[in-house]
Amino acid sequence: MSLIVAKFGGSSVSDAASIRRVAGRIAQMHADGNDVVVVVSAMGDTTDELIDLSEDVCAGVEPPRREMDILLTAGERISMALLAMAINAHGVRAQSFTGQQAGVLTDSSHGDARIIDVTPGRIARCLGKGNVAIVAGFQGVNVDENDVTTLGRGGSDTTAVALAAALDADVCEIYTDVDGVFTADPRIVPTARRIRQVTSEEMLELAANGAKILHLRAVEYARRYGVTLHVRSSFSMNTGTLVVPPSEQEEPMEAPIISGVAHDRSQAKVTCVGVPDVPGAAARLFESVAAAGVNIDMIVQNVSVAGSGETDISFTLPATDISTVRPVLDELARELGYTEVLYKENVGKLSLVGAGMRSHPGVSAKLFGALRDAGVNIEMISTSEIRISVVTESDDLDTAVRAVHTAFGLDATEVEAVVYGGTGR
């Protein structure tokens, strides 16, 4: 008998039929002798519909974030109550709980609240009575005012991991619309394989570098608190991908060198041309960008041409932040004296991730070779202990991902069936 926290996203509970199907699955888990806590997102398009309504009533005025949180969390209240009813209809007692009732305590950053503590006493009592507990994902309550808050993107995954940690669950199952984490996006690489097991560190690098199946924040939480994740499909009974914390990972000698290839098309590249090559210029530049709340990913500073006293500095950031960073860089041009700022929105980033990289030299060389052979030009490079990322032209990205996937022997001999649906939150 295990304690399972199972999270079902919006695409798994998009309508009454889906809810009945998920309820049957949960009833079976319970019949198998497990204690089950279910974290559920809002049904299918509910969130988008509520956002549309808010825009309609606000007539162009930005709504208060507190009210936006109250509005959006209604979606999870609907799905959690319906799911509890559907499980009861299977003869299994189930009770639904809001974020507040489940003890998800947060700060007061409406729309993007941080979890401060999880006190799931009521959930534990519900399980103690042999009942299934259904918890609203994505929401908590702030400790100052007892106001409902939302956890931002990936909030339901985070709720599930936080509850799994607080309840010391055996596993946190993340149900989604594909069979797990793949060695690359199967839409780009049809021969991509399901990864059977990956460390949370590797998953962190994959999620941070474009793999959308799990949200970075939930993976970080799982790694920090030693929670084992099982990413699997709600549309099949197949085993998915286990994401294991460092303490439980397999022996290094068994770890594959490369876990997977992530890609990201959401970044842009900015180049400041002709930055005076004096101490502190780069520091001043990145301090100003950080002060504007923009996260920079990769940085490349060219070696200055001897005697010119000038250098070019390039960096990548989310393309959506260009409008924020543009006035900052224009302002700074006067102070630092660079001559021009170039913005390039069509860049692609490819990241090769693998814990085995640590002990296997030559991975970079093989990567660069594969890209050269595929005719893909590399614009920027950055590395971590277990990752190598390169920036390419956006148009070259698919070619690059396929070439690298093949070069590192990741291609499957048979193509696995992959089901796609919407994505939950």
Is there a binding annotation on residue 176?
A: yes
Please list the residues that pair with 388 across neighbouring strands: 352, 383
Residue among 14, 34, 47, 96 that touches its own copies (CB under 8 A)? 96
- Cα(285)–Cα(289) distance, integer angstroms: 6
| Annotated binding residue 44 | no
Residues linked to residue 310 through DSSP beta bridges, in sequence order? 276
Task: Check if the beta carbon of residue 47 is closer than 8 Å to that of residue 10.
Answer: yes
Q: Which stretch binds its own copies (CB under 8 A): 74-82, 105-113, 292-300, 380-388?
A: 74-82
Is 187 assigned a ligand-binding role in the annotation? Answer: yes
Q: How far apart are the C-alpha atoms of 182 and 348, rounded to whole Å?
A: 19
Closer of 175 and 338 to its own copies (Cβ): 175
Min dist. Cβ of residue 392 to its own copies (A): 43
The single residue among 85, 127, 171, 273 that binds its own copies, judged by CB under 8 A, is 85
Segment near its own copies (CB under 8 A); pick from 54-62, 102-110, 157-165, 364-372:
54-62
| Three-point CA angle 266, 272, 277, nearest 5° | 140
How far apart CA 228 and CA 164 sit, in angstroms, is: 9
Query: Please, which residue, 50 or 374, has the CB nearer to its own copies?
Result: 50
Is residue 89 close enough to count as binding its own copies by CB under 8 A? yes
What's the CA gap between 26 and 37, in Å, rounded? 9
Q: State which residue, 77 or 284, has the beta carbon closest to its own copies.
A: 77
Residue 127's CB is within 10 A of a number of other CB atoms, namely: 17
For residue 127, state whether it binds its own copies (rule: CB under 8 A).
no
| The dihedral formed by the CA atoms of 319, 328, 295 and 183, expressed in degrees to the nearest 10 | 30
424 neighbors 46 (Cβ within 8 angstroms): no
Among 12, 34, 41, 95, which residue sits at the site for its own copies (rule: CB under 8 A)?
A: 95
Q: For its own copies, which residue of 6, 29, 36, 80 counts as binding (CB under 8 A)?
A: 80
Using CB under 8 A as the binding rule, whether residue 303 contacts its own copies is answered as no
CA pseudo-torsion sign 354, 314, 320, 324: positive
User: 241 - beta bridge partners?
Assistant: 231
20 touches its own copies (CB under 8 A)? yes
Flag whether 47 is marked binding: yes
Q: Which DSSP category does 169 fall into?
A: -
Stretch that binds its own copies, among 13-21, 163-171, 172-180, 344-352 (CB under 8 A): 13-21
Cβ 173 to its own copies, closest distance in Å?
A: 21
- The SS3 assignment for 128 reads helix
- Please check if 177 is assigned to a binding site: yes
73 binding its own copies? (CB under 8 A): yes
| Residue whose entry in the numeric block shows the structure tokens 């198998």 | 32
Q: Using alpha carbons, select from 291, 300, 308 the residue that is nearest to residue 271.
A: 300
CA distances from 274 to 312, 340, 353 (A): 5, 7, 34
Nearest-approach distance from CB 80 to its own copies, in angstroms: 7
Nearer to its own copies, 89 or 415 (CB): 89
155 annotated binding-site participant:
no
Q: Is residue 74 within the footprint of its own copies (CB under 8 A)?
A: yes
**Residue of 5, 84, 172, 178 interacting with its own copies (CB under 8 A):** 84
Q: Which is nearer to its own copies, 134 or 231 (CB)?
A: 134
Which residues are CB-neighbours of 5 under 8 A, at least 6 positions away? 37, 38, 39, 160, 161, 163, 164, 167, 169, 171, 172, 173
Q: Angle 120-162-152 (CA atoms, 0-180°, nearest 5)?
A: 115
Site for its own copies, rule CB under 8 A: 16, 19-20, 23, 50, 53-54, 56-61, 63-64, 66-68, 70-71, 73-75, 77-78, 80-86, 88-89, 95-96, 98, 101, 146-147
- Binding annotation: 7-10, 47, 76, 176-177, 187
- Binding annotation for ATP: 7-10, 176-177, 187
- Binding annotation for substrate: 47, 76
